[in-house]
Amino acid sequence: MSRQPRAWQRMLSGRRLDLLDPTPMDIEIEDIAHGLAFVARWNGQTTGEWPYSVAEHSLLVEALFRAIAPGQHPRWQLAALLHDAPEYVIGDMISPVKSAVGESYGALEARLAAAIHIRFGLPAVLPARIKAAIKRADRLSAWAEATQIAGFSRAEADRFFGKPAGAHLKGLHIAPRPPVDVRAAFTRRHAELLAAIDRA
């Protein structure tokens, strides 16, 4: 008798997350923070003593989202922090590989994102205007990362990520930190945003 292939991953919290049919009840912020803090952006091809993690990137995107879209409800700031949260189980795949894999990757990512959003009180699918603002912050972050730690020239970064407008990157210095520090910072920011949502 053939067995179904295993489609779940056991988390350090003890949760078993079904990757093909994820449920909000199996999602914990500690697992997300831990996973993202140990997933390297740019396939690890960055300068410094530590990999630049998806958790670090997520913190930067959330800060840039607040800068480019001031006055947004804290729930949308939380959405920005969690914009790459599915990568805690599926990893960070660079854009050329995503294109090669095709629609199946996007569908898997969307299912995970919906479950994560619901777990933390967000709509499964974000409003288009919020999604667009987060994407803008994401591209700003990518441009800064590309030019500061991933070896891109400014001209290359302009071509792939768009020339940054405004002063949102002025004075920004990216310095990758140890995963344990980034994990703590991500968890702390998540707690701050949940408290802000409760007060709003």
- Chain segment 27-79, per-residue pLDDT in tens: 999 999 999 999 999 999 999 999 999 999 999 999 999 999 999 999 999 99
Find out whether 24 and 121 touch, Cβ atoms under 8 Å.
no
State the CB neighbour count (10 A cutoff) for residue 24.
Answer: 14
Q: How far is CA 178 from the centre of its chain?
A: 17
CA distance 60 to 167: 15
State residue 166's pLDDT score. 79
Q: What is the mean predicted confidence (pLDDT) over 2-21?
A: 85
| Percent of the chain residues topping a pLDDT of 70 | 94
Which pLDDT score, from 0 to 100, does residue 4 have? Answer: 66
pLDDT at 188 over 60: yes
CA distance 138 to 79: 12
> For the segment 147-164, what is each residue's pLDDT rounded down to a tens digit?
999 999 999 999 999 999
pLDDT of 109 strictly over 80: yes
26-199: what fold?
Hypothetical protein af1432 (1.10.3210)
* Rounded average pLDDT over 93-104: 70
The 8 Å CB, 24+ separation contacts for 69-74 are: 69/133, 69/137, 72/130, 72/133, 73/197, 73/200, 74/193, 74/196, 74/197, 74/200
Domain-wise residue ranges, the chain: 26-199
Average pLDDT over residues 80-103: 83
* Section 11-37 average pLDDT: 95
Query: Out of 16-20, 153-157, 189-193, which region has the weakest mean confidence (pLDDT)?
Result: 16-20
Task: State the sign of the Cα–Cα–Cα–Cα dihedral 97, 99, 104, 109.
Answer: positive
What pLDDT, on a 0 to 100 scale, did the predictor assign at position 137? 97
Residue 8, strand partner residues = 18
Structure confidence at residue 135 (pLDDT): 97
Give the strand pairing for 8-10 and 16-18: antiparallel
**182 sits in which H/E element:** helix 179-199
- The predicted model gives 181-199 an average pLDDT of 98
Q: What pLDDT shows up at residue 2?
A: 55
pLDDT band (50, 70, 90) for residue 111: very high
Residue 117's pLDDT is 98
pTM over 0.85: yes
